[in-house]
Amino acid sequence: MSFLFPPPPQASLSVRGRPERLPVHRIYCVGRNYDEHVKEMGGVVGRDPPFFFTKPADALVTDGRFPYPSSSHDVHHEIELVVALGPDLKPFAYGVGLDMTRRDLQAEAKKLARPWDTAKGFDHSAPISPLVLAEESGHPQSGAITLDVNGIRRQTGDLSQMIWSVEETIVALGALFALKPGDLIFTGTPSGVGAVKAGDVLLGHIDGVGDLGVTVVPSA
């Protein structure tokens, strides 16, 4: 097969203890999957059907540097468990991710009943740790999920507090999309989301999965 110009490189992630990398297909994100986060965002707690949004695969950040995006003055952190689907479309590996959000653009989109793409799917909006295979980590259903900013705890929760489990989320997604091996699912964030600024150092942790360190740097 020939192309008119070179295609972009395949998005991929490193896997702890393995020389091979995991090829990334799509990135799906679950909205409002922890009760306390629903409350802080002004929502009504309940078990409504889950809703989803997406990020492009090339929004992944693996070098620990998050460039503060242009066209926004209120960018928030959201720490999340990330699930990578394997060839059988079941959880294959897990990681620690950040769903970075242009909160001011999201608020404007909500007010105008417009899509969230500019708020959620911008460049560098998905920092992520190396993955750990499920055969090593097991399938975490409980355990602390935390985020510190400049050494101060901002977010804390437990994976057991998810409104929709990983398995339920995969079923719901599969009813809407043709899931593929290499799809990533950001599974929602606990309460405590907040703004970041250039120079901030973020350290995320999920018990049994790993750590993610990210520094916010000025835009180029």
Residues 6+ apart with CB under 8 A from 185: 27, 28, 29, 30, 82, 83, 85, 166, 169, 170, 173
Alpha helix (H) residue ranges in 44-162: 103-111, 117-120, 134-137
Amino acid at 6: P
Interatomic CA distance for residues 86 and 45, integer angstroms: 32
Q: pTM here?
A: 0.95
What's the CATH number of domain 22-217, 3.40.50.2300, 3.90.850.10, 1.10.3720.10, 2.40.50.100?
3.90.850.10
Q: Quick one: what percent of the chain has pLDDT higher than 70?
A: 94
Interatomic CA distance for residues 101 and 126, integer angstroms: 9
Helix (H/G/I), strand (E/B), else coil: 172: helix
* pLDDT (tens place) for every residue of the chain, 220 residues total: 899 999 999 999 999 999 999 999 999 999 888 876 667 666 666 677 888 999 999 999 999 999 999 899 999 999 999 999 999 999 999 999 999 999 999 999 999 999 999 999 999 999 999 999 999 999 999 999 999 999 999 999 999 999 999 999 999 999 999 999 999 999 999 999 999 999 999 999 999 999 999 999 998 7
Q: What is the pLDDT of residues 135-180, one digit of tens each?
A: 999 999 999 999 999 999 999 999 999 999 999 999 999 999 999 9
Residue ranges of domains in the chain: 22-217
